[in-house]
């Protein structure tokens, strides 16, 4: 497998090279790339970006630092009209730089572009989904390097629920909160501890790595812009900079969204500062909208919830409807459904929340707050197979069937997903590009597929929307009529009446 290569935006270059303390995620990305001899490129247009810096001393220093990196040259004859035609309107000089970077990425000059610029992420997504997957925040880039070159075998454990007083608030984890909010210690004592607020936490080797503090509100007592009967306020949503590469943000957001839907909240909201671009991008992907700013200048992000069945909208595709209303999805007579058989080893990797061995193992004494080492229990997932069967359009419903297994459940449908896309990888390098930031597979595992033109690998991108509790056993599947005789060994389409029965049997927290 050929080495990955990364093109870094100007904001990453400055984050790595200016005279301030380097943030943990930036240092982690650079160290991993250096350790594994991964190419990091800077585009020559970065110099144009830096020359617009009003600070002359910083401008001189930043320009000198470009020489540390391999520099990509602009394609000969590339014009602004050509860039605008591909990547949208170029209203400012920075837009021209962004479009030039995307052109270099799309041409294959680098495998991934690393940037904290939310607008650049959006511009890539508008061009096409595949290009959007190759534009990464710095934490996700570090995560991809870990997944490719440093696979870990430690199973992922669950987020734990604790009370605020159980958390050591003097932990260095809280230092950045104190810097941005000098009254933090007083607020923590008077509001979180004294009011016994509930928290979700993730620990790594007894060190706090992720935290959500929540509070129940109502329409008469809330800082939300939209008023609702039952409101979930996320007072604090934080991931340690050193741990952002294992997608703890998405893991904690999954906890928030599943909890809000399960407990029939009408609204959930939280605030974010302007520089929290990765958090805002994540929130907007799952349906939160910017409702304004509070007195502290923070953006207020809100999302409504309902147990009512979704209705089709003419101006929005099924997949977009599902992700903006996650974990709800549409089930009507036009939606298709599929069964996907999955082996135990792949099942344990994709769904570590369900990994529950009957026999004691090396981690039997580990806390249930053991930190994730792989992004396996996040929302967006990728499944690899060589099934000949085709899948339906984005928004189709996927039921994952765990085959005969040593550990329970065995021969049962356990998880439910919503299809985002299906692509064919025709080389190991192409496979790596398509799995991108969602991969739970190591370089060795990807290479073992031996993807080729003659034997391409099917890359199925989807959202995990629910675990089926209790799992639907083989006997029950036979009673419903989904299975006749031996269980299917490849992907198969579900008859619509069977699909509806399976969805209802999944005991979801909304009407279908």
Tens digit of pLDDT at every position of the chain (512 positions): 467 899 998 888 877 666 566 577 888 888 899 888 899 999 988 888 788 778 787 778 777 777 788 888 888 889 999 999 999 999 988 899 999 999 999 999 999 999 988 899 999 999 998 999 999 998 889 888 887 776 544 333 568 889 999 999 888 899 988 888 889 999 999 999 999 999 999 887 778 889 999 999 988 888 899 989 999 999 999 988 766 555 788 889 999 999 999 999 999 999 998 888 889 999 999 999 999 999 888 999 999 999 999 998 888 999 999 999 999 999 999 999 999 999 998 898 888 888 776 554 433 333 333 444 444 568 999 999 998 888 999 999 999 999 999 988 999 999 999 999 999 999 998 998 888 766 677 778 888 999 999 999 999 999 999 999 899 999 999 999 999 989 999 999 999 999 999 999 999 988 88
How is domain 5-149 classified at the architecture level of CATH?
Answer: 3-Layer(aba) Sandwich (3.40)
Q: H or E stretch including 443?
A: helix 443-448
Going by C-beta distance under 8 Å and a sequence separation of 6 or more, which residues neighbour residue 428? 1, 2, 446, 447, 449, 450, 451
Give helix 138-149 / helix 24-35 axis angle, nearest 10°: 30
Question: CATH homologous superfamily of domain 337-505?
Answer: Hypothetical protein. (2.30.130.30)
- Cut 0.85: pTM above it: no
In this structure, is the dihedral angle defined by the CA atoms of residues 289, 290, 294 and 299, taken in order, positive or negative? positive
Any idea which fold 160-304 has? Answer: Aminopeptidase (3.40.630)
DSSP 120-132: HHHHHHHH-HHHH
In the chain, the N- to C-terminal Cα span, in Å, equals 45
Q: Are 23 and 17 in contact (CB under 8 A)?
A: no
- Rounded Cα gap, residues 30 and 25, in angstroms: 9
Q: CB of 370 within 8 A of CB of 153?
A: no
Q: Where are the domains of the chain?
A: 5-149, 160-304, 337-505
């Amino acid at each position: 497998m050929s080495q990955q290569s990364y093109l870094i935006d100007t904001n990453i270059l400055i984050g790595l090279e200016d005279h301030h303390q380097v943030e943990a995620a930036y240092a982690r990305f650079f160290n991993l790339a250096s350790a594994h001899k991964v190419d990091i490129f800077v585009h020559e247009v970065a110099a144009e970006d830096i020359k617009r810096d009003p600070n002359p001393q910083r401008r001189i220093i930043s320009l000198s630092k470009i020489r540390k990196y391999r520099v990509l040259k602009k394609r000969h004859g590339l014009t602004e009209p050509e860039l605008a035609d591909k990547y949208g309107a170029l209203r400012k000089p920075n837009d021209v730089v962004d479009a030039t970077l995307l052109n270099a990425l799309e041409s294959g000059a680098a495998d991934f572009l690393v940037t904290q610029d939310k607008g650049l992420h959006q511009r890539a997504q508008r061009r096409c989904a595949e290009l959007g997957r190759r534009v990464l925040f710095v934490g996700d880039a570090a995560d991809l390097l870990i997944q490719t070159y440093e696979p870990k075998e430690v199973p992922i454990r669950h987020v734990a629920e604790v009370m605020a007083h159980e958390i050591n608030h003097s932990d260095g984890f809280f230092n950045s909160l104190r810097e941005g909010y000098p009254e933090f210690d007083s607020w923590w004592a008077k509001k979180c501890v004294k009011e016994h607020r509930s928290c979700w936490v993730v620990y790594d080797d007894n060190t706090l790595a992720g935290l959500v503090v929540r509070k129940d509100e109502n329409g008469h007592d809330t800082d939300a812009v939209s008023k609702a009967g039952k409101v979930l306020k996320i007072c604090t949503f934080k991931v340690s900079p050193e741990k952002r590469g294992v997608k703890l943000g998405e893991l904690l957001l999954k906890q928030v969204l599943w909890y809000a839907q399960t407990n029939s909240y009408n609204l959930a909201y939280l605030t974010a500062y302007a520089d929290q671009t990765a958090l805002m991008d994540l929130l907007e992907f799952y349906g939160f909208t910017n409702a304004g700013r509070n007195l502290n200048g923070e953006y207020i992000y809100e999302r409504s919830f309902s147990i009512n069945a979704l209705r089709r909208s003419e101006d929005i595709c099924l997949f977009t409807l599902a992700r903006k209303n996650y974990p709800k999805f549409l089930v009507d007579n036009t939606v298709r459904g599929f069964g996907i058989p999955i082996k135990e080893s792949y099942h344990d990797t994709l769904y570590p929340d369900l990994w529950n061995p009957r026999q004691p193992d090396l981690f039997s004494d580990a806390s249930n707050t053991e930190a994730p080492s792989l992004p396996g229990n996040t929302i967006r997932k990728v499944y690899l197979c060589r099934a000949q069967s085709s899948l339906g359009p984005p928004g189709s419903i996927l039921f994952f069937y765990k085959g005969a297994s040593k550990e329970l459940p065995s021969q049962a449908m356990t998880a439910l997903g919503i299809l985002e896309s299906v692509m064919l990888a025709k080389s190991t390098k192409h496979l790596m590009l398509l799995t991108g930031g969602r991969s739970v597979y190591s370089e060795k595992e990807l290479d073992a597929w031996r993807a080729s033109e003659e034997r391409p690998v099917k890359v199925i991108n989807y959202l995990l929307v629910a675990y089926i509790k209790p799992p639907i056993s083989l006997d029950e599947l036979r009673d419903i009529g989904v299975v006749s005789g031996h269980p299917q060994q490849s992907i198969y389409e579900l008859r619509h009446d069977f699909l509806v029965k399976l969805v209802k049997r999944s005991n979801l927290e909304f009407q279908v």
